[in-house]
Amino acid sequence: MKEPRAERVEPRAASRESRGEREQGKQAAGRLGDSGEHSRPAGGPVGLSVEFAGIRMQNPVLTASGTFGYAQEFEPYLDLNRLGALVVKTITRLPRAGNPAPRIVETPAGMLNAIGLQNVGIEAFIREKLPYLRRLTPPLIVNVAGESVEDFRELTKRIGDQEGVAAIELNVSCPNVAGGLDFSTDPKLTYQVVRAARDATGLPIIPKLSPNVTDIRVIARAAEEAGADGISLINTLVGMAIDVRTRRPKIANVTGGLSGPAIRPVAIRMVWQVAQAVRLPILGMGGIVTGEDAAEFLLAGATVVAVGTANFLDPTNALKVVEGLRDYCAANGIADVRRLAGGLQIPR
């Protein structure tokens, strides 16, 4: 099993007024590493703060890249400062118009998308999006995608030079872009991309892996050897849907990435496998809608989780996951969410 990496995390300065922050402060005196999580009575305060890839977060609930825009889209609906960290939509070197319509379609308990990495490009991102994101208090994780190893090096360097960025997530696994950007189906390419990014910046590097592989552990190990600081998984599963009346594919790109609750069992399995294969902390995602869904990922071995497709159903969903996770911990006598990490118990 993966050893718990989290060190003791002090509560952040009490400059913010959010409920999450205050509650965190209350439990700060609780010592870690002593008796098991079932020793506390149910209903007590719950410590939610964690450390992931060297970044302190007030709670383990992040937003999945590509489902949260550049955060500002959600400002009317929720207090962004109560999230664990913000992961924003993939940035490429040049602006991208994206794919033709239709780009999305609902499928059973999920959706297929082929947006095509529509984005403003790195320079416009730095100019127009970053100043807003910098004003928010949760750590900012910028997601980048390149068409070559060299692209990744440049993007990582340019983002790494900006103030207010906590880490860089590498989108080595977008299934929807012509020319095959799916580096993470090949351990050698994964290694090269992560290595290039590693050498280009001192910021934590978090490759986001594709589930469309035979053995996810091989790819995760390659990322670890190349110097990654954490691993995000999973990206979407490649899928397809056909309109049987018109006999046409339901999205213009023909194939697309499947997300939503439909993929959660696959994601849980992969997080569990990777947690045993590498020592890197895991950012787990795939179909999380509730706090209990998040707990499932933590039990499988993730240190933090990201809410993705559920942000579309309900723009406040990510905060509901924070509250749901707190409720789950309180109801089960878990004083500190870090105690959940890798807590899966398999009866013999």
Which residues are annotated as catalytic? 174
Considering only 49-57, 101-109, 226-234, 325-333, which stretch makes contact with another protein by CB under 8 A? 101-109
**291-300 helix and 317-331 helix, angle to the nearest 10 degrees:** 70
Say if residue 336 is exposed, middle or buried (CB neighbours under 10 Å; 0-12, 13-18, 19+).
Answer: buried
Q: Which stretch, 207-215, 234-242, 274-282, 307-315, contacts another protein (CB under 8 A)?
A: 307-315
Angle (deg, nearest 10), helices 264-277 and 291-300: 30
Which one of 12-20, 106-114, 166-174, 216-224 is the stretch in contact with another protein (CB under 8 A)?
A: 106-114
Q: Tokens for 129?
A: 């999006």
Strand residues in the chain grouped as ranges (E): 50-52, 55-57, 61-63, 86-87, 104-107, 110-113, 140-144, 167-171, 205-208, 231-233, 237-240, 242-243, 248-249, 255-259, 282-285, 304-307
Encoded one letter per residue, x for contact with another protein by CB under 8 A and - for no contact, window 203-242 reads: ----------------------------------------
Give, in order, the Cα–Cα distances in Å from 320 to each of 1, 138, 263, 271, 293.
30, 17, 20, 22, 11
Assess 289 for contact with another protein (CB under 8 A): yes
Q: Can you read off the two tokens belonging to residue 217?
A: 């552990």
Instruction: Give the binding-site size for another protein (rule: CB under 8 A).
Output: 33
* Neighbouring C-beta atoms of residue 97, cutoff 10 Å: 9
Rounded Cα–Cα distance for residues 169 and 192 (Å): 15
In the chain, % helix, strand, coil (3-state, to 5) comes to 35, 20, 45
Does 74 bind another protein (CB under 8 A)? Our answer is yes
Beta-bridge mates of residue 329: none
**Among positions 1, 42, 94, 109, the unique one binding another protein when judged by CB under 8 A:** 109
Beta bridge partners of 249: 242
In whole angstroms, the minimum distance from the beta carbon of 284 to another protein comes to 19
State how far the Cα of 312 lies from the Cα of 302, in Å rounded to an integer. Answer: 23
86: helix, coil or strand? Answer: strand
Contacting range for another protein; rule: CB under 8 A; set: 4-12, 73-81, 148-156, 221-229: 73-81
Please give the Cα distance from 30 to 11 (Å, whole number). Answer: 11
110 belongs to the binding site for another protein (CB under 8 A): yes
Q: Which of 43, 108, 131, 227 binds another protein (CB under 8 A)?
A: 108
Judged by CB under 8 A, the chain residues 112 through 131 that form the site for another protein are: 113, 115, 118
Smallest gap from Cβ 101 to another protein, in A, equals 5
Among 24, 58, 65, 67, binds another protein (CB under 8 A): 67
Name the one range near another protein by CB under 8 A: 132-140, 211-219, 266-274, 309-317.
309-317
- The single residue among 314, 323, 327, 333 that binds another protein, judged by CB under 8 A, is 314
Q: Which of 32, 78, 104, 299 binds another protein (CB under 8 A)?
A: 104
Taking CB under 8 A as the rule, does residue 177 contact another protein?
no
- Of 309, 319, 334, 335, which lies in the binding site for another protein, with binding defined by CB under 8 A? 309
The contacts of residue 319 (CB under 8 Å, 6+ apart) are 78, 79, 82, 83
- Residue 265 binds another protein (CB under 8 A): no
Query: What string marks each residue from 148 to 167 as x (binds another protein by CB under 8 A) or -?
Result: --------------------
Whole-angstrom Cα distance, residue 92 to residue 220? 23
**Closer residue to another protein, CB minimum distance, 16 or 320:** 320
Q: Which residues make up the interface to another protein (CB under 8 A)? A: 67-69, 73-74, 76-77, 97-106, 108-111, 113, 115, 118, 260-261, 289, 309, 311-315
